[in-house]
Amino acid sequence: MRVAVVVFPGSNCDRDMHHVLSEFGMSPEYRWHEDGIPGGTDAVVLPGGFSYADRLRAGAIASHSPVMDDVRRLADDGVPVLGVCNGFQILAEAGLLPGALVSNDEPGFMCRWTEVVVGSTGTPFTSRFSGGDVLGIPVANGEGRYHADERTVRELEDAGRIVFRYAGDLNGSAGSIAGVCSEGGNVVGMMPHPERAAEPDVCPPGAAPMAPLFESLRAAAAA
């Protein structure tokens, strides 16, 4: 399974994502943001980091990168697209996902493990979870508060497009939203870092809570 890991200037979780995708038996390939995404790509991941150092707004400059034309086209074609942290911010800035990511209600960078509740399992990244599962996962961001108007949040809820919610109020996110998906379900954005919670060695003892996300993706390609 070929997964494009898009590298923007300032991406810094690209190698982490590459490592975990490999660990789960997939074939990740780095794609520089000025180069296109080749045909035959089975999935696209926009990793975390600080594209353009978050200048102007997190994700604002990268959302104009040449590669985003290909990402948009593949998303329209139903190819699985995952944006994590800065990747989610870029997808939101590019209009591929609804809402915006703004400064946490307690300003400043926040790095800690938290818990999310699994919402929709109808995406290529969540089929191996059970809805309602409460799982540990780390967050690391300064602009991670999900913002959308009430109507949008309600629509997302009604359409089953909330993929992960924080188990408590972490940062003031509307609807405690940690991750959402596109109408078709194939584009998922999430602020917490699943690649940091996929191997037992780096997780609090005895678990790799986000392993199912990568197993889901592998299964989606096999299907």
Partner 1 sequence: MPEFAITVTIRNRPGMADPEGETILRDLVLRGGGSGGASGGIPGGISAIRTAKALEFRVSAGDAAAAEDLVRRVCEEMRIYNPLVSEAVFSAGSN
Partner 2 sequence: MNLEPGELEDLRSRLGREPSDTEARIVAAEWSEHCSYKSSREHLSILPRTGPGVVGGPGLDSGALDVGDGWVVTAHIESHNHPSAVEPYGGAATGVGGVIRDILSAGTRPIAILDGLRFGDPSGGHARWLFRSAVSGIADYGNCIGVPTIGGEVEFDASYDGYALVDVAAIGFGRRSSLIRNRASAGDAVLLLGGPTGRDGIGGSQFASESLDAQDRSAVQIPDPFAEKMLIEAVIEARRAGLIRAMKDLGGGGLSCAISETADALGVGIEADVSRVHLRGELEPWEVMVSESQERMLLLAAPGDVPRIESICGRLGVACSQIGRASDGGQMVIRRGDEVISDMPARVVANAPPQEHAASPPGPAPDPGSRPRADHSAALLRMLGSPNMSSRAWVYGQYDHEVGIRTVVRPGMDASALRLDNGRYLAVSMDAAPKHCNIDPRAGAAGCLEEACRNVVCAGARPAAMLDHLQFGDPRDGRVFWSFKESVAGMAWYARSAGIPCIGGKVSLYNETPSGPIKPTPVALVLGLADRPFRQGSAADGDALFVIGATREEMGGSEYMEQVHGTADGACPAVDPGESAANMDAVLALQAAGLARAVHDCSKGGIAAALAELCIAGRTGCRAEPGSFPGDVPEDAALFSESHSRYLVVCPGSRADAAEAELRRRGVRHSRAGVFGGGAIRAGGVDLSVDKARAAWLGALGGLVHG
Per CB under 8 A, residues contacting partner 1 are 9, 52-53, 55-56, 60-61, 63-69, 72, 94-95
Find out whether 220 and 127 touch, Cβ atoms under 8 Å. yes
Q: Measured in whole angstroms, how far is the alpha carbon of residue 72 from the centre of its chain?
A: 15
Find out whether 96 and 53 touch, Cβ atoms under 8 Å. no
- Mark the segment that binds partner 2 (CB under 8 A) among 62-70, 105-113, 145-153, 170-178: 105-113
Please spell the DSSP secondary structure of 31-96, one letter per residue.
Answer: EETTSPPPTT--EEEE--B-GGGG-SSTTTTGGGSTHHHHHHHHHHTT--EEEETHHHHHHHHTTS
Active-site annotation holder among 13, 33, 85, 93: 85
Q: How far is the CB of 79 from partner 2 (least distance, A)?
A: 25
Is 85 noted as a catalytic residue in this protein? yes
Is 195 noted as a catalytic residue in this protein? yes
Rank residues 2 and 19 by Cβ distance to partner 2 and give the closer one. 19
List residues bridging with 134 in a β-sheet: 117
Largest CA distance in the chain: 43
Is 181 noted as a catalytic residue in this protein? no
Cα 51-109-164 angle, rounded to 5 deg: 80
Q: Which of 37, 63, 195, 209 is in the footprint of partner 2 by CB under 8 A?
A: 195
Among partner 2, partner 1, none, the one that 67 touches (CB under a kind-dependent 5 to 8 A) is partner 1
Buried b or exposed e, range 146-170, using 16+ CB within 10 angstroms: bbbeeebbeebeeeebbbbbbeeeb
Rank residues 34 and 149 by Cβ distance to partner 1 and give the closer one. 34
Distance (Å, whole) CA 20 – CA 198: 7
Q: How far is the CB of 55 from partner 2 (least distance, A)?
A: 7
CA dihedral defined by 207, 116, 71, 199, rounded to 10 degrees? -10
Q: How far is the CB of 143 from partner 2 (least distance, A)?
A: 12
Among partner 2, partner 1, none, the one that 13 touches (CB under a kind-dependent 5 to 8 A) is partner 2
Rank residues 9 and 142 by Cβ distance to partner 1 and give the closer one. 9
Among partner 1, partner 2, none, the one that 209 touches (CB under a kind-dependent 5 to 8 A) is none
Rank residues 40 and 205 by Cβ distance to partner 2 and give the closer one. 205
Question: What residues are annotated to the active site?
Answer: 85, 193, 195
Give the footprint of partner 2 on this chain (CB under 8 A).
Answer: 9-10, 12-13, 15-16, 19-20, 32, 34, 48-50, 52-55, 108-112, 138, 140, 142, 193, 195-196, 199, 201-202, 205
